[in-house]
Structure 1
Amino acid sequence: MSPVGNTEACLPSTSHPIGLDTATAVAGALKALSDPLRLRMLSAIATDMRGEACVCDLAELADLSQPTISHHLKVLKETGILLSERRGTWVYYRIAPARREAVTALLDAFAATANLDVVENYAERAEALRTMDARVSRLAEELAEELTDLNRDLVVAIVRESYAGLVRSAKLTQHLIPLTEKFARQRLADLTRDRESSVQQVLFVCVANAGRSQLAAAIVNQLAEGKVIARSAGSTPAADVHPHVRSLLVEIEGEQETSAAFPKPLTDDAVRAADVVITMGCGDVCPIIPGVRYEDWTVGDPSLASPEGAAAIRDDIERRVRDLLSTLTD
């Protein structure tokens, strides 16, 4: 019976929750990952250049005995996240292939948000967003007047879509308009690119676009000297480039260029405009476009590594980039 005074019928639910067995399994995995040390172990294994880690390596993460370390690893193994193999006196652990994509997405997503050291006041952010629509409209009109060779409605639509894509992950609203303009201009350039007569483009795609894809694009642009142009994007972009990666980018590009780097959403236009698309731990998020070459690079995530580990990952990416450029510039 409906509550007294309420004659409105309850509408049938249209939701489709996961099944009880699946929910139980996921809850068990999340419970196992609720320990900070286990998360660090998982991160260390996921980012190890060998694709695995030994108990002796993981013991360096904390001042604990090896039996204690082994206990924590056993908990992770029982959830199906890890696989193990004994070699002599040591046991080596690696991410189960079926769980690698989920682990990468989990670590990438939380690493990106855990390192936000500046966050706007929520009330100030809400007020800023209320006044943002007029500024976005003004930007759209200005670009439409400047880019007279493009359809006006198209320019306005791209500007608004670019703003909507960035505002979801924006850390600070004060940067939204210049970032929207930069992103919109790139998208419009993608739409009008003549593949036959322009310099070859490489698009690097990862989850957060806050680490390895940013680094790979910067290395290509440094080494190719204009003969190949690289860009990057993320399937679920973070709010900002990770500090470890930003310091590496400064070494490659310089302070001024790096200050303009920001995580960007992946768009179909960017994929269509690329000659080569390289995915880096983001799964099957890229649309398949005829005529586009696809590769997948298994590369550690520098945003989850120590400064020394991030530098090693940079060197690994550089070796791969040099091999890639040799096939493009020839």
Structure 2
Amino acid sequence: MSIQEAEQTTTEACSPVATHAIGLEAASSVAATLKALSDPLRLRMLSAIASDPRGESCVCDLAELADVSQPTVSHHLKVLKDVDVLTSERRGTWVWYRINPNRRGAVTALLDSFAPATVSVPGEDAAVDDGLRPDFDARVTRLAEELAAEVPALDSDVVLSIVRESYTSLARSARVTSALVPLTERFARQRLSDLTRDRDASVPQVLFVCVANAGRSQLAAALVNKLAGGKVVARSAGSSPADVIHPHVRSLLAEIEGDAAGQRFPKPLTDDAVRAADVVVTMGCGDVCPIIPGVRYDDWAVGDPALASRDGVEAIRDDIAARVRTLVDDLLSLTPSHQEQP
């Protein structure tokens, strides 16, 4: 091949195409924000503020996160304020910080999704790449046949579709494929139960929804089920479920439910769950729930356990517990007949 032919080939192979890269101004703004966040102490302070059940944190609380001077803490907080991640308000001697409402979605994504994805969880096996996952088709099909026999009210093809959908949605975030079929069975059973629920003959049902279904919503469901003693049933789901429950939350769930806590796992939100619920409680996930007539919707502004300290998560649990007691009392007072059911 001549030099001229080689140059022509190279030119054809490298023909420019339209680019959809982020604009320079936007890239500069994002880079400045990421640079401000690229400090471990700043991220810890951001997490502490985001997970504070009060919705804000005092500078005196944030100073406890590290053995540094007060001016150093103030410097780091100013950096986060300069990029509009935080806002502040002085009250007397102390300054209080909260997440800028316009940046809350970005902060939630950072703490709920990006951060857990970069931190390995001790004791968990790494997920197998999608292309290397074993073929569970036969086991999933057999599971669908078993469940279809238990729910004769539903067509077997409907059951098979639900089981396959359940498996696929859980597989997207699974770390270990060996547990997929048992998890699929539990998730599919719940969905089938939601599909066949008779509202008139059932106790009230509450669905808690957050982003990752790895913290707040799991705690709320566990607390309802314990407090109500079967007179109210609680479910939980996530708009973008994580692969595992937050470690601090797992330990609190064990205190609430004992061995039964080991059966909990993050689950995706489904229309079936929303339709089956009498009350849907959203917790920092925005407008992700479909609006179903006859379903009551509440929104709880509670702290986020993502990357929070053990003490922080316990404070969030206490906040949720107080709200749960009010909700359960409200539901039972509105439906006195349910109090007589086991």
Q: Could you tell me the TM-score, scaled by structure 1's length? A: 0.90
Q: Is the contact made by 1:128 and 1:173 (CA closer than 8 Å) also made in structure 2?
A: no
Alignment partner of 1:269 is 2:275: no
1:259 and 1:171 map into 2 onto residues whose CA distance is 16
For the structure 1 residues 7 and 307, does the alpha-carbon distance in structure 2 shift closer, same or farther, using more than 3 Å as the test? closer
2:74 to 65, 70, 73: 70
Match of 1:309 in 2: 312
In structure 2, relative to structure 1, the CA distance for the partners of 1:78 and 1:273 (3 Å cut) is same
Q: Which residue of 2 aligns with 1:52?
A: 56
* Cα pair distance change 1:52/1:154, threshold 3 Å: same
> 2:213 is matched with which residue?
209
Q: Which has the larger radius of gyration?
A: 2
Question: How many angstroms apart in 2 are the aligned matches of 1:58 and 1:28?
Answer: 23
Deviation (angstroms), 1:5: 9.6
Does the CA-based 8 Å contact 1:204-1:216 persist in structure 2?
yes
Instruction: Give the length in aligned residue pairs.
Output: 327
How far the C-alpha of 1:111 sits from its partner, in A, is 4.6
SS at match of 1:310: helix
Aligned partners of 2:47 and 2:70: how far apart in 1?
Answer: 18
Q: What CA deviation, in whole Å up to 9, does each residue of 1:50-101 have, x standing for no partner? A: 2222222211111211111111111111111100122334322111112123
Correspondent of 1:98 among 97, 102, 112: 102
Preserved CA contact (<8 Å) 1:204 1:280: yes
**Aligned equivalent of 1:327:** 330
Whichever residue aligns with residue 249 of structure 1, its letter is: L
Residue equivalent to 2:284: 281
Taking the aligned partners of 1:119 and 1:10, their CA distance within structure 2 comes to 46
Q: Secondary structure at the match of 2:96?
A: strand
Cα shift at 1:8: 9.5
Amino acid at match of 2:311: E
Cα deviation, residue 278, structure 1: 0.5
CA distance in 2, matches of 1:5, 1:62: 56
Matched position secondary structure for 2:314: helix
Contact 1:125 1:173 in 2 (8 A): no
Cα distance between partner residues in 2 of 1:268 and 1:305: 31
Structure 1 portions without partners, runs of 5+: none
DSSP 3-state at the match of 2:235? strand
Cα 1:128/1:118, change in 2 over 3 Å: farther
1:323 is displaced (CA, Å) by 0.7
Which whole-Å deviations, capped at 9, do the CAs of 1:137-165 have from their partners, x for residues lacking one? 33223323443331121111111110111
Per the alignment, in what secondary structure is the counterpart of residue 41 of structure 1?
A: helix
Letter in 2 for 1:271: V
What is the match of residue 159 of structure 1?
A: 163
Partner residue of 2:241 out of 237, 242, 254: 237
Residues 196/16 of structure 1: CA separation in 2 closer, same or farther (3 Å cut) = farther
Q: From the superposition, tell whether residues 126 and 75 of structure 1 become closer, same or farther in structure 2 (CA, over 3 Å).
A: same
CA offset digits 1:175-208 (Å, max 9, x no partner): 1001001111111221222223221110001111
- Counterpart CA distance in 1 for 2:326 and 2:308 is 24
Cα distance change of structure 1 residues 223 and 20 upon mapping to structure 2, 3 Å threshold: same
1:247 aligns with 2:256: no
Displacement, 1:18?
Answer: 4.5
Q: Is the 8 A contact 2:144 2:160 kept in 1?
A: yes
* Contact in 2 for aligned 1:105/1:282 (Cα 8 Å): no
Q: Counterpart of 1:155 in structure 2: which amino acid?
A: V
Query: Match of 1:38?
Result: 42
Helix, strand or coil at the partner of 1:254 = helix
The offset of 1:242, in angstroms, is: 1.4
- Structure-2 change in CA distance of 1:322 and 1:41 (3 Å): same
Amino acid at match of 1:266: L
Deviation at 1:261, TM superposition (A): 0.5
Is the partner of 1:50 in helix, strand or coil?
Answer: coil
Q: 2:9 aligns with which of 4, 24, 38?
A: 4
Displacement of 1:115: 4.9
How far residue 103 of structure 1 moved from its aligned partner, in angstroms, is 1.2
Residue from 290, 294, 299 that aligns with 1:296: 299
1:144-183 alignment, distance < 5 Å: 144-183=148-187
TM-score, normalised via structure 2 length: 0.87
Aligned partner of 2:122 in structure 1 is: 117
User: Between the two proteins, what is the percent identity of the paired residues?
Assistant: 66
Deviates more, 1:20-29 or 1:42-51: 20-29
State the Cα deviation string for residues 115-139 of structure 1 (Å, max 9, x = none). 52244356x6557613223322332
Q: What is the CA–CA distance in structure 2 between the aligned matches of 1:295 and 1:310, rounded to whole Å?
A: 22
